[in-house]
């Protein structure tokens, strides 16, 4: 593998883990606010981001490269409402989408075909991630932010099940 590609995949591993860390911090804040459903949603999201990092990690190993783990920053998660938290989640996903697209551009320029194939899965996944966050934002806006609405939204978010490792 070209070093340029290895470096870029290592950076993407960091991005995915950083995003996992952000969701985990959001989960902790929702626990503190007694919104267990939203906390559950964020916890599952955090777990899913680790699986994303692992797909890139394993990709490097399978191609004979060694993943080099980079520094993860302490997440900056301050929000005053569920709506704000999910708006931040959507922004985070838009950032990841941009990173995935840039990585794809590089894979094309460098003619790394296996990376292009791996990234097809991620490109689809990002469409789903943004769609999910947008859907929740729409629901919150529609329901309003009364105590009753929050209770309903939280219960809905609590239904999210953890993804299993093999799931694509």
Question: 15: closest CA among 113, 108, 129?
Answer: 129
Helix axes 36-62, 3-32, angle to 10 degrees: 170
| Residues from 51 through 110 that contact Mg ion (CB under 5 A) | 52
Radius of gyration of the chain (CA): 17
Q: Alpha-carbon distance 115 to 81, whole Å?
A: 39
Task: Please identify, using beta-carbon distances, which residue of 126 and 153 lies nearer to Mg ion.
Answer: 126
The CB-of-114 to Mg ion minimum distance in angstroms stands at 19
Residues in the chain: 168
The CB-of-75 to Mg ion minimum distance in angstroms stands at 15
* Listed ranges 12-20, 31-39, 67-75, 137-145: which one lies at the site for Mg ion (CB under 5 A): 12-20
Task: Please identify, using beta-carbon distances, which residue of 142 and 167 lies nearer to Mg ion.
Answer: 167
Q: Alpha-carbon distance 41 to 158, whole Å?
A: 6
The CB-of-12 to Mg ion minimum distance in angstroms stands at 9
The CB-of-69 to Mg ion minimum distance in angstroms stands at 16
The CB-of-128 to Mg ion minimum distance in angstroms stands at 10
Task: Please identify, using beta-carbon distances, which residue of 48 and 154 lies nearer to Mg ion.
Answer: 48
Neighbours of 104 (CB within 10 A): 17
| Residues from 39 through 58 that contact Mg ion (CB under 5 A) | 49, 52
Helices marked H in 36-112: 36-62, 82-109
Asked whether position 14 contacts Mg ion by CB under 5 A, the answer is no
Could you list the residues that contact Mg ion (CB under 5 A)? 16, 49, 52
């Amino acid at each position: 593998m070209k070093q340029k590609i290895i470096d870029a995949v290592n950076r993407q591993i960091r991005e995915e883990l950083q995003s996992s860390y952000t969701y985990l911090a959001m989960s902790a804040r929702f626990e503190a606010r007694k919104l267990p459903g939203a906390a559950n949603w964020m916890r599952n999201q955090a777990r899913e981001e680790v699986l994303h990092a692992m797909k890139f990690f394993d990709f490097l190993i399978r191609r004979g490269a060694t993943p080099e783990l980079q520094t993860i920053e302490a997440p900056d998660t301050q929000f005053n409402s569920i709506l704000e938290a999910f708006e931040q989640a959507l922004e985070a996903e838009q950032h990841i989408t941009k990173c995935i697209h840039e990585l794809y551009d590089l894979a094309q320029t460098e003619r790394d075909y296996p990376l292009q194939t791996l990234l097809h899965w991620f490109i689809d996944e990002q469409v789903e991630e943004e769609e999910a966050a947008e859907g929740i934002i729409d629901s919150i806006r529609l329901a309003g932010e009364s105590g009753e609405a929050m209770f309903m939204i939280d219960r809905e978010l609590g239904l999210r099940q953890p993804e299993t490792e093999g799931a694509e």
